[in-house]
Amino acid sequence: VLRNAVDVEEAEVEKCVRDIMKEKKIEQKDTGFKTNLHISLLQISGYKKLYLNVENLRKVPYDSENEEHEEQLIELWNLLMPHENLKARISKQWCDIGFQGDDPKTDFRGMGLLGLVNLVYFSKHYTNEARQILSRSNHPKLGYSYAIVGINLTEMAYSLLKNGALKAHLYNVVSGLPQMEHFHQFYCYLVYEFDKFWFEEEPESIMHFNQYREKFHEKIKGLLLDCNVVLTLQD
């Protein structure tokens, strides 16, 4: 009964709770236990479901023929560069927000649409912070490619979700089913904290990016070991 409980669908949680209580001879009128077990099973099954949803978005390749994909890309530009018009879809201007070449679609290869959705989410929900960090990323000595680093941090958030490291964080953030929103919020935390970390560390050059990224990754993994951890930005 317990083994089946961790893979239960949302609609079957109630019955599953009753079955466990019966099996373990816990009185059905013990409402405190019943409520906590119900929440726990939702969190456990919800974590798996969230991972599948994130993975499905990651598997969607960026498609420049897809109107929705293109709209999100243009929205990213407008959120970050409100006072500058994008002169053409294929343009050197994309480098101004930290893409590598004239067409950002090539930079999304590893993380697919997930990378773009994360970048847009941060820029939309924390617009001032996103513009500030973009501005800081143009620092003459400590600068880095804003969009490329953003996609790299999507990979970090994704891998932490995949290997189960985000469990304590998500269980503390939501007493029930974690949603895509909660994954995006964790990503926003990473972007904000990485920028702070990068400037505190003062790397000699962007050539050392991988070394400092790994150091930051280890720092986050350490924080996530705390069973009371909550890593979110406050609105």
Per-residue confidence at 235, pLDDT binned at 50, 70, 90?
Answer: low
Q: In angstroms, rounded to a whole number, what is the distance separating the alpha carbons of residues 197 and 216?
A: 7
d(CA 166, CA 96): 33
pLDDT at 101 over 90: yes
> Which band of pLDDT confidence, cut at 50, 70 and 90, is reported for residue 6?
confident
Distance separating alpha carbons of residues 234 and 126, to the nearest angstrom:
10
Q: Which pLDDT does position 7 carry in this prediction? A: 86
Domain ranges of the chain: 1-59, 64-225
One-letter-per-residue 3-state SS of 180-228: HHHHHHHHHHHHHHHHHHHHHHCCCCHHHHHHHHHHHHHHHHHHHCCCC
Check: pTM over 0.85? Answer yes or no. Answer: yes
Residues 13, 14, 19, 25, CA torsion sign:
positive
At 174-225, the pLDDT tens digits run 999 999 999 999 999 999 999 999 999 999 999 999 999 999 999 999 999 9
